[in-house]
Amino acid sequence: MKNLFRVIFLSVCTLSMISLDAQALRIPGNTNFASSAGRRIGATEIEIHWNAPGVKGREGNIWGTNIAWYGFQVLGFGSNSASPWRAGADECTTISFSTDVMINGKPLAAGKYALFMALSSDTTTLIFNKNVGAWGSYFYDASMDVLRVNTFQQKNQPNSVERLAYTFSNQKDNSVEVALEWEKWRIPFTVSVDLKASVLADIKSQLSGAIGFDAPSLIAGAQWCLQNDVNHSEALTWITSATNPNFGNPPTFGALTVKAGLLEKLGNKAEADKTMEQAMPLATIMEMHQYGRQLLAQKKVDQAFAVFQKNYDKNKGAWPTNGGMMRGWSAKGDYKKALEYARIALTQAPDENNKNAIMGYIKTLESGKAL
């Protein structure tokens, strides 16, 4: 009797274990495809995860039905409250942003959200909710909504999309259009970012780690700040470290010009000029030429001319210094002098592209116009 009881007990335990395992077991199938998509805007990472149902011959019987219902519907399970559509299948659809963003012009903080949609025949309300671990929208809780924003769906698309998909299109430097596409509906919304703010935050974060000891990285960060006219004081500390001989990297012309530019932005022109005096002997012939052109673009004609002249004298009229003198005299309004140097530069042009460009400059100068 004791042995029989032991057998029964062990059998019950084994069945219980099998039952528990079966409840946790997931066997992959092809009903709804686990899917993901991502896109980067500047420093902002966007990631979407969803399960993709198929149309399966139900064209015309998806939208406004129990498959993808309009508005809010009591589903009869979970929280038993009126719920929007899960914007996918099975587990809730999630969308994450690595930085703060704007959704159709409305602000949304960086983070991961469940994405629900309250559909109607013409518009859709996008709902970003904090409960990212729920099964579909059965446990939807409106108090956990972070943002609701409206969009207009595009119906009667020419081609039917069999598997629900999230796509990215119309990308610009600071925005991208995200769209749910399924059957003949397309539900788009625009994600935009403050590009300067998000990239600057990313640069700061990176430079607070190990690469904050890497001179080229510090130079790149400082140069970006100078080019985008932001964060001048902190960028100056980065470039000062990167150009300090004790840092292990000798200063270069490029790095010192960045430092000089930041000093000038901060109103310290005397120190900026002193830094450029230190930089000039380190410049290659092309670096000095490009620096002169940069000064011309800033309308600093006299400074640019002095750089072109110095480059010409130092390198004994080698290419491209005659081109620099051409530009300098043109900026000063002496087209006759500019033509003299342009014609010499034409004989030195190293390739067809440069030769054609100089021929165009000669025609411009001969017509009495500035370059």
* pLDDT value at residue 22: 35
Q: Which among 90, 192, 188, 79 has a CA at the least distance from the CA of 144?
A: 79
Using DSSP's 3-state secondary structure scheme, residue 291 falls into helix
Tokens encoding 170: 């119309």
Query: From CA 206, how far away is CA 221, in angstroms rounded?
Result: 10
**More confidently predicted of 187 and 29:** 187
Of how many residues is the chain composed? 371
Q: What is the mean pLDDT of the chain?
A: 91
Quick one: pLDDT band at residue 10, thresholds 50, 70, 90? Answer: very low
Using DSSP's 3-state secondary structure scheme, residue 314 falls into helix
How far is residue 120 from each of residues 84, 90, 103, 123, 163, measured CA to CA in Å?
11, 22, 19, 5, 21
How far is residue 29 from each of residues 32, 49, 55, 268, measured CA to CA in Å?
8, 17, 16, 67
**pLDDT by residue (tens digit) across 299-342?**
999 999 999 999 999 999 999 999 999 999 999 999 999 999 99
φ and ψ of 128, to 5 deg: -105, 120
Quick one: pLDDT band at residue 117, thresholds 50, 70, 90? Answer: very high
Strands, E, within 81-160: which ranges? 82-83, 94-97, 101-103, 106-108, 111-119, 123-129, 145-152
Query: From CA 258, how far away is CA 165, in angstroms rounded?
Result: 46
Beta pairing class for 44-52 and 33-41: antiparallel
Query: What is the value of pTM for the model shown?
Result: 0.75
Tokens encoding 43: 């420093």
Which amino acid is residue 262, in one-letter code?
A: L
How far is residue 288 from each of residues 191, 239, 305, measured CA to CA in Å?
42, 20, 11
Quick one: pLDDT band at residue 174, thresholds 50, 70, 90? Answer: very high
DSSP secondary structure string for all residues of 200-254: HHHHHHHHTSGGGG-HHHHHHHHHHHHHHT--HHHHHHHHHHHT-GGGTS---HH
Which amino acid is residue 206, in one-letter code?
A: Q
Asked whether the predicted pLDDT for residue 25 surpasses 70, the reply is: no
Cβ neighbours for 111, distance < 8 A, ≥ 6 positions apart: 96, 97
Using DSSP's 3-state secondary structure scheme, residue 210 falls into helix
* pLDDT value at residue 345: 96
**More confidently predicted of 221 and 247:** 221
Token pair 């066997």 in the structure block, residue:
27
Q: Which among 192, 194, 191 has a CA at the least distance from the CA of 202?
A: 194
Question: With contact defined as beta carbons under 8 Å apart, do 47 and 36 qualify?
Answer: yes
* pLDDT value at residue 76: 84
**More confidently predicted of 270 and 21:** 270
Asked whether the predicted pLDDT for residue 6 surpasses 80, the reply is: no
**pLDDT by residue (tens digit) across 59-108?**
999 999 999 999 999 988 777 789 999 999 999 999 999 999 999 999 99
**pLDDT by residue (tens digit) across 283-305?**
999 999 999 999 999 999 999 99
Query: From CA 120, how far away is CA 13, in angstroms rounded?
Result: 51
Query: From CA 180, how far away is CA 198, in angstroms rounded?
Result: 26
230 CB burial (10 A radius; 0-12, 13-18, 19+): middle
Query: From CA 236, how far away is CA 258, in angstroms rounded?
Result: 9
Tokens encoding 252: 């270069």
**pLDDT by residue (tens digit) across 183-194?**
999 999 999 999
* pLDDT value at residue 249: 77
**More confidently predicted of 137 and 102:** 102
The average pLDDT across 199-211 equals 94
